[in-house]
Amino acid sequence: MHLNTNIDSHYAKLAVGSATLGVFLLILHQLCRRLLLPQPIPNIPYNVAASQKLLGDLPELKDEMDRTSDMRSWLLQQTIKLQSPLIQLFLDPFSKPILILSDPREALDILLYRSRDFDRAPMLYDIFSGLAPTHHIGMKTGPEWRRHRDLIQHLVTQPFLQDTAGPAIHASASRLVRLWRAKARLANGAAFAAKGDFQYMIIDALIEICFGKDFPNNGVSSQIELLEADHTLAPDIKPQTPITFPEANPHEFICAHKKITEVIEYCGESVYPRQMWWAMSKLPRLANALRIKRRVTRERLTTAAATIAQKMPLADSNSGAWSSAEFMAHHENNLSQQECRQPEYISPPMEDELYGFLFAGSHTNFITLAWAIKTVADNPVSQSRLRDSLRAGFPEAVLENRAPSPSEMTSRQIPYLNATVEEILRISPAALLVDRVAIRDTELLGYHVPKGTCIWTIPAGAGFTSPAHHISEEKRNTSSRSNAKPSRRSEWSGDDIAQFIPERWLRPSAEKHGELVFDPSVGPILAFGAGPRGCFGRPLAYLQLRMAIALFVWNFELRKCPDSLSSYDAADGLFHKPKSCYVSLRALS
């Protein structure tokens, strides 16, 4: 009897212990689940199902990227699904939610007027820290950021744009015109891919702008030499089938730049881009490309330093155009004198700012041109009007049977050309998103936003090419309300906002009766961001887009490609790129 009692007591204790352990494990499970699951910011709409998953919205985004590669469309779909211009998504496991803002007016308010609340987010630094760790793009706004950006201050000056950038862009685009004339003759009406040609044209121009005329920028010319040397096509060309042309190997720096670009794009798609870059940089091909990039950049800075020592002071110089490297060396020389130190022409900031400018410029404009050429070809009425406007604006070139010169194109305003470029940027911005981070607790559209929260503003969709979300005025920030101007649309509206209509950027001239002028203030675009942290190379980008599009339309009729080659589907990485970009050309005399 005593033995049975002991056994019962033992089992009772065991049962109590098991129950206690079970309760403890259940509490621990719930506690871990609560700690590891996404933590929504109160009141801001989100996907409830995603909040119950450790990886949040990430699996759904991955499925969408595997299926379409179009991240921007998916982000916009989430705002539509949740019926809100401001939503939160759980895309970074075990981190704060990311806010998605789909409203041009509030986005511009953040970028232009709320620098005390928001600054550049760390995302771009994570992507570029391995390639250019001291470039200003990844820095917080402050004295060090301004010091680095001052190294490239010359990029926005009119003498630089007119004397250095204009001739380089014109020469590069003219070489592409020559290449396309040869390809159009061989293709005999069939389409051929244009992306690679745009890449070479852009990098050729930027190499001359950055390094000077004496550096071998032969991206396009090497393709011309190969095509004219030994390429023949079969006579049974079918218009529905794109032509594939062979590709030459240009200068080693251009090949290295292309490799670096490929890897940055790949790393930019990773959840952990910094770690991915570190691993990829150990591979022989990328390591060799980085060695070439470093060697060439240092050589050009050394050459620039020697060159400026022989030139007159910049303010009085008549010695010709200065390269970007020479401007930077001149700036460093002046700064070192002010600070009573020896100039450091070869330093991480000098190298990173010089190559960083070349890298960024070669990405955005090539993608914008890819969208532009598709859009202009698919809108023949606008294309014809643009060509007529160009011929009316450059009558000397028409009389002399030549293309407009660099000086003519940099000194004259063609309203319809400017409107065409602006409309392309409105409907097809290359920027995937514009990111910021809250640097203190603040509010956005009436919602509390904790410090450290990242905000992605979308430069397309609602308010740009589709109806804007309805937002009551009292929800908007004070600066948004006080800076609203009746003369400027805060969003695009109307039944035609998804259509390509350059005329929407034109208005009657107040000075000359019957003339139209280009007015960039009639509505919003976010293709280059805005405010103090907007794209610093914006004037140069506009110049390159205007010159290239003008020379293409001047020399060719851009025909619509077959439907199978005319898709507007996008592939998103660092930027919003068209999956396909083909041209079908008829050369004009």
* Known binding-site residue numbers: 535
Distance (Å, whole) CA 217 – CA 237: 32
Distance (Å, whole) CA 112 – CA 562: 42
The identity of residue 159, as a single letter, is P
Distance (Å, whole) CA 289 – CA 296: 11
Distance (Å, whole) CA 382 – CA 500: 9
Location of structure tokens 């079970």: 22
Residue 403 DSSP one-character state: P
Helix (H) or strand (E) holding 578: strand 576-578
Nearest CA-CA partner of 570 in 559, 562, 578: 578
Check if the beta carbon of residue 164 is closer than 8 Å to that of residue 321: yes
Q: What residues pair up with 444 in beta bridges, in sequence order?
A: 447
Check if the beta carbon of residue 223 is closer than 8 Å to that of residue 247: yes
Nearest CA-CA partner of 463 in 524, 527, 530, 375: 524
**Residues that constitute the known binding site for heme:** 535
Q: Measured on CA atoms in the order 451, 452, 458, 459, is the torsion positive or negative? A: positive
Dihedral angle of Cα 526, 529, 531, 537, to the nearest 10 degrees: -120
Helix (H) or strand (E) holding 221: helix 219-230
Residue 454 DSSP one-character state: E
Distance (Å, whole) CA 270 – CA 394: 48
- The burial of 344, by beta-carbon neighbours within 10 Å (0-12 exposed, 13-18 middle, 19 or more buried), is given as middle
Distance (Å, whole) CA 360 – CA 543: 15
Nearest CA-CA partner of 421 in 561, 541, 575: 541
Give whole-number Cα distances, 448 to 79, 86, 215, 412, 473, in Å.
Answer: 18, 12, 53, 48, 17
- The burial of 65, by beta-carbon neighbours within 10 Å (0-12 exposed, 13-18 middle, 19 or more buried), is given as middle
CA 488 centroid distance within chain: 25
Distance (Å, whole) CA 320 – CA 212: 11
Q: How many CA atoms lie within 13 A of 324 on its CB side?
A: 29
Nearest CA-CA partner of 78 in 357, 433, 424: 433
Check if the beta carbon of residue 309 is closer than 8 Å to that of residue 317: no
Distance (Å, whole) CA 251 – CA 126: 30
Q: What residues pair up with 585 in beta bridges, in sequence order?
A: 558
Helix (H) or strand (E) holding 111: helix 104-113
506 token code pair: 């034109």
Strand 98-101 relative to strand 570-572, pairing: unpaired
Strand 516-518 relative to strand 506-508, pairing: antiparallel
